[in-house]
Structure 1
Amino acid sequence: MFLTNTLIVLATVAGMEAFAWLAHKYVMHGWGWGWHASHHAPRSGWFEANDLYALVFAALAIVLIALGTSGRWPLQWIGAGMTLYGALYFVAHDGLVHQRWPWRWVPRSGYLKRLYQAHRLHHAVHGREGCVSFGFLWAPSPTRLRAQLQAAQAQRRAQPRQAPPQRPPQADTRGR
């Protein structure tokens, strides 16, 4: 049973990365931009509206753990996997990449450097359109991400700019 529960936790961590990628790209950079925009702007203070996403996912994990410990196996292990993913996210994303902790360290090699660079390239675009690298713990090659950014920029430059819509002339209503 221990091995099964451990595999459920690890599978949930992997599944959360896939879920987080989708949620980041299509929710946070889509209809949920209202909260996530704070993450792409300079932060003032300890918290940003984007932190509300962590609260939502933490609440869901707590509910799953509570349901699981009241007899609905394997929900507690899924909740534990979500909690582990949240802890890894907190360390890697908030701590390492965005340096929301008092200590500062920039990795110089290996996986953590790749993760750091990929997320920095995600923030290279101002706004919600045209971003790359939506994962939090899995990072594509920075070389590939730079090429994607350059291709997107070239495509935007090649598109003709649209003039703002012209307002129709107003009728004179001054009583002449």
Structure 2
Amino acid sequence: MNPFVAALLVIGTVVLMELGAYALHRWVMHGWGWGWHKSHHEDHDHVFEKNDLYALVFAGISIGLFALGTWVPLLTWIALGVTIYGALYFVFHDGLVHQRWLFKKPPRKGYLKRLYQAHRLHHAVDGKEGAVSFGFLYAPPVDVLKKDLSERRSALRDDTGDAQPPSRNLH
């Protein structure tokens, strides 16, 4: 395969993975898949959480695509894009944002700070409702997320008549 086409397939897959991860995170993980994802929104002191099962599912998909790439070489490049996305997720989401390994301090400037703040805002609500910022590598501007979070909290309060849901420490 032409190296330029292969590179486009890999990069395109990484971009599509972020779009797919946004949708999966918003409508599956915070929907019918909350049973696994809930562990990610709870404090714990163990290495693994039930939410890590999602990583195993995507690893299985990537392995399957690599295996199918034996017969359809195009799928090998797509599998590589899925794998690269998984590695980026592991470094930036688990390592940087949640400090499960590697990073020990939050970033203080630039895009990494914005990514960190955006995901902390995602965790600012208890439960699956009212969260913002569902992407893993793309972070909307923090001021936009704060406004959205405030509006979602107001909407939840209006829907239930209850007081505003408690917020978590945002660091």
Query: In terms of mean alpha carbon deviation, does 148-157 or 46-55 score higher?
Result: 148-157
Point out where structure 1 has 5 or more consecutive residues left out of the alignment: 163-176
Q: Write the letter of the residue equivalent to 2:84.
A: L
With over 3 angstroms needed to count, the CA separation of the structure-2 counterparts of 1:43 and 1:72, relative to structure 1, is same
The Cα shift of 1:102 comes to 5.4
Q: How does 1:48-63 map to 2 (within 5 A)?
A: 48-63=49-64
Instruction: Kindly report structure 1 stretches of 4+ aligned residues shifted beyond 6 Å.
Output: none
Could you report, residue by residue, the CA deviation over 1:93-133 in whole angstroms, capped at 9, with x for unpaired residues?
Answer: 00000000154021111110010000000000110000000
**Sequence identity, in percent?**
56
1:45 and 1:113 map into 2 onto residues whose CA distance is 26
2:103 and 2:152 map into 1 onto residues whose CA distance is 35
Q: Write the letter of the residue equivalent to 1:119.
A: H
The Cα shift of 1:152 comes to 1.8
Name the counterpart of 2:22.
21
Query: In terms of mean alpha carbon deviation, does 127-136 or 149-158 score higher?
Result: 149-158
Name the counterpart of 1:36.
37
1:82 and 1:2 map into 2 onto residues whose CA distance is 18
The Cα shift of 1:150 comes to 1.0
1:112 and 1:6 map into 2 onto residues whose CA distance is 25
Could you report, residue by residue, the CA deviation over 1:33-89 in whole angstroms, capped at 9, with x for unpaired residues?
Answer: 000000000123100000000000001001101110x12121011000000000000
Q: Write the letter of the residue equivalent to 1:130.
A: G
Q: Does residue 81 of the first structure (1) align with residue 89 of the second (2)?
A: no
1:50 alignment partner, SS class: helix
How large is the RMSD of aligned CA atoms in angstroms?
Answer: 1.3
Q: Does residue 146 of the first structure (1) align with residue 166 of the second (2)?
A: no
Q: Does residue 65 of the first structure (1) align with residue 56 of the second (2)?
A: no
Name the counterpart of 1:47.
48
Please tell me whether the aligned partners of residues 107 and 113 of structure 2 are also in contact (alpha carbons under 8 angstroms). yes
Q: How does 1:154-169 map to 2 (within 5 A)?
A: 154-159=154-159, 161=161
Name the counterpart of 2:5.
4
The Cα shift of 1:158 comes to 3.5
1:50 and 1:21 map into 2 onto residues whose CA distance is 15
Name the counterpart of 1:98.
98
Name the counterpart of 1:118.
118
Scaled by the length of structure 1, the TM-score of the pair is: 0.88
2:128 alignment partner, SS class: coil
The Cα shift of 1:153 comes to 1.9
